[in-house]
Amino acid sequence: MRALVVDPEVPGALRFGTAPDPAPGPGRLVLDVRHLSLNRGEIAGAAALPPGTVHGYDAAGVVRHAATDGTGPAEGTRVVAFGAGAWAERMAVEVTAVAAVPDGVDLADAAALPMAGLTALRALRTRPILGRRVLITGAAGGVGRYAVQLAALGGAHVIASVGSPARAAGLAALGAAEVVTGLDGVGEPVDLVIDNVGGPQLAAAWRLLAPGGGVQSIGWASGEPAVFEPGSLFALGPARTISSFGDVREPGPDLGTLVSLVASGRLSPEVGLRGSWEGIAEAAAALLGRRVAGKAVLDVTPAA
C-alpha cells in the first residue's frame, strides 16, 4: 500500500513510499483510510523517527477488516481513529482507539478530531472549570480552537491568547470571552492555563495563576526555554501546579464524545486547510509557518 513515510534526506522528512498491508488481530481492526489530519508537532518531529516509519496518528475511514475476536465495530462501519501509522491507505488500530462516526458527520471533519481534540478535552478535565477563568495560549491552532470551544461549553470564562492580531479571527465566535495578543491585557488571575507555547510565555502565565490554579503544559511551540525567577515557584496558600500532559490511553470513548459534539453542532472541527495528500509538502509547510487556522485535513486519494 502507499503511505507517507519518514525520510530524513528529503525536505520536510516525509515522502510517499510503500508499506506492507496491515493485518487485523484480536482487539485490532484494519481501516481503509479516507482522510488524515496533520499536527504541527508530528511534522516538526518527523526527522527524528527511524527512516521508513509510516507517520501520523489521526485518521477517519471505513472498517475494512473487523478485529478477529469479534470486538469493536463491524466491517463497513465509518470510524475515526487514533493510532500510529495513520498516514497510509490502510491502518491497523486497537478497537479501544476508534469511535463510530454518525451519518451526519463528514469523515473529513472526524479526521480533524483525534490528537488535538483529545488533548484539549483531557487537559480541561484536570480540574473543574464551571465559572472559572481559563487561559488558553496558542489559541489559534488546532488544539487551541478545540480548547476554546470545550472550555466555553464547560462554563468557563475563556481567555484566548494568540501570537498576532491576525490570528485572533473567529475565536470570539467559538466562545472566547477575551482575545489577547500574547498575555497583554490579562488583568486578573486565572484558574487554569492550557499552554501550547512554552518558553517565556509559560513563565509569564505562571505569574498569572490564582492560588490553587494549575498549568497544563501540552505543547512548546516557541522552542525556547522557560526561565522562572528565583522564588517564583513559592507562594502561600493553596498550591499552584504545573503538569505535563500526554495521556492518550484508550481514547475511543473520548473520541465518541468529541464526534457526538460535532454531530449535535456544539463543536466545530475548524478545518483551516483541506486538500489531497499528494500536497503533503505544501500542507506541512503551511502548518509549520502558522498559516493554518485550526486543522489541516488531507484526503487519501488513489495514485494518478
Q: Per-residue confidence of the chain (304 residues) as pLDDT tens digits?
A: 999 999 999 888 999 999 999 999 999 999 999 999 999 989 999 999 999 999 999 999 999 999 999 999 999 999 999 999 999 999 999 999 999 999 999 999 999 999 999 999 999 999 999 999 999 999 999 999 999 999 999 999 999 999 999 999 999 999 999 999 999 889 899 999 999 999 999 999 999 999 999 999 999 989 999 999 999 998 889 999 999 877 888 999 999 999 999 999 999 999 999 999 999 999 999 999 989 989 999 999 877 6
User: What is residue 246's predicted lDDT score, i.e. its pLDDT?
Assistant: 76
The CATH superfamily label for domain 127-244 reads NAD(P)-binding Rossmann-like Domain (3.40.50.720)
Q: How many helices (H) and strands (E) does the chain have?
A: 8, 15
Burial 37-61 (b: 16+ CB within 10 A, else e): bbbbebbeebeebeeebbbbbbbbb
User: What is residue 51's predicted lDDT score, i.e. its pLDDT?
Assistant: 95
Q: Which three cell numbers stand for residue 110?
A: 472526524
User: What is residue 184's predicted lDDT score, i.e. its pLDDT?
Assistant: 86
In the chain, where the domains are located: 2-115+248-299, 127-244
Strands in the chain per DSSP E: 2-6, 14-18, 28-38, 58-65, 78-82, 90-94, 98-100, 133-136, 157-162, 178-181, 190-195, 209-217, 241-244, 271-276, 295-299
What is the distance between the alpha carbons of residues 38 and 225, in angstroms, rounded to a whole number? 25
What dotted CATH number matches 2-115+248-299?
3.90.180.10
User: What is residue 282's predicted lDDT score, i.e. its pLDDT?
Assistant: 94
